[in-house]
Amino acid sequence: MLQSINSSSIPDIARQSRLAARQLAPASDAQRNLALAKMAEALQAVRARVLTVNADEVAKPATPAKPRPWSSA
């Protein structure tokens, strides 16, 4: 199932990726190749949207970083 581009945090995506890797590890070469081909198709299907969102993010003015409580700034 594809999630919307903004619905997952980086740690969530990393956890999902590790889970997928564990599930694919025991698969045959043919099964892994099929899974990778399906993932590539899914990425191609959302390619334009990803590029649009990325361009929108890059075009936003930079916001200053908030000082961290432990920093001397």
pLDDT in tens, 1-14: 344 555 678 889 88
pLDDT in tens, 7-60: 678 889 889 989 989 998 999 999 999 999 998 999 999 999 999 999 998 998
d(CA 24, CA 17): 10
Q: Where are the alpha helices (DSSP H) in the chain?
A: 10-24, 29-59
